[in-house]
A = this chain, B = another copy of it.
Amino acid sequence: MHKIEVEMGKDIYQANRKIAENIRKMLDERGIMAIDFMGSIGSGKTLIIEKLIELMKNEKRIGVIVGDVTGDDDYKRIKKYGVDVVNINTGKECHLDAHLVEHALEDLNIDEIDILFVENIGNLVCPADFELGTHKRGVVVSVTEGDDMVRKHPLIFQISDFIVINKIDLIPYMEIDMDRIMKDIERIAPKKVFLTNARNGEGIEELAEWLLN
């Protein structure tokens, strides 16, 4: 059973990468900068995208692809900002793939977008293996996920270009060793780290500046 999955897997990854390359080329031709936001359920991906939209929308035309297993809660949250947004429901799949993003792009006005945010399905395992053709990939984790989250899911941190540690306002109420997280990041995946409290916007401006440069 596992053998078949692995062999199938290789082809799936290759096919996905090829579509991702096409997406990347298409985005580049139109001058669109795209960012894939990965991370656990409830880590704050949607709220961070909302806060980025608030900060950027006067200067940039923004498009959003929102992925969820089911439902359109996040889609509705983004829609309120008046930006161009498409919802993808994966059914049982635990990640977006390039093929799904390719179709979602057909439903966006891509000639009128400067920045594309993609919100991936919420978990720290599956999305890592599937590039979506974006220019940057980031993983959003919350301090509530425990100070062993990096060592437990090294791959998703390693393939990310940036790491957002969110809900830092909850640190005083928890037993969490932030030093351990930062040391794990340095050892396992030394990437740019942003400490944020998306609720009040703390740290989002720094993230926005970094993404735009």
Question: Which residues of A pack against B, CB within 8 Å?
Answer: 1-2, 4-5, 8, 12, 15-16, 40-42, 68-71, 73, 92-94, 97, 99, 121-126, 129, 142, 144-146, 148-149, 151-155, 167, 169-170, 173-175, 199
Q: List 10 A-B contacts (CB under 8 A).
A: A1-B15, A2-B99, A40-B41, A41-B149, A42-B149, A70-B151, A92-B155, A144-B144, A173-B173, A175-B199
Residues of B within 8 A of A97 (CB): 1
A146 to B71, CA, bound (A): 15
Residues of B within 8 A of A4 (CB): 8
When C-beta atoms are compared, the residue in chain B nearest to A47 turns out to be B146
Q: Is the CB of A73 within 8 A of B40?
A: no
- Contacts A42-B40, A42-B146 given; indicate if A71 touches B152 (C-beta within 8 A): yes
Residue from B41, B69, B155, B170 within 8 A of A170 (CB atoms) = B170
Q: Is the CB of B94 within 8 A of A126?
A: yes
A196 vs chain B, min Cβ distance (A): 15
Q: Which of A12, A122, A142 has the most CB of B within 10 A?
A: A122
Residues of B within 8 A of A199 (CB): 175
A144 to B199, CA, bound (A): 13
- Contacts A41-B145, A142-B144 given; indicate if A153 touches B69 (C-beta within 8 A): yes
A73 to B69, CA, bound (A): 29
A60 vs chain B, min Cβ distance (A): 27
Q: Is the CB of B1 within 8 A of A152?
A: no
A2 to B100, CA, bound (A): 10
Q: Is the CB of B99 within 8 A of A152?
A: no
Residues of B within 8 A of A142 (CB): 42, 144
A184 to B21, CA, bound (A): 40
Q: Is the CB of B15 within 8 A of A145?
A: no
A16 vs chain B, min Cβ distance (A): 8
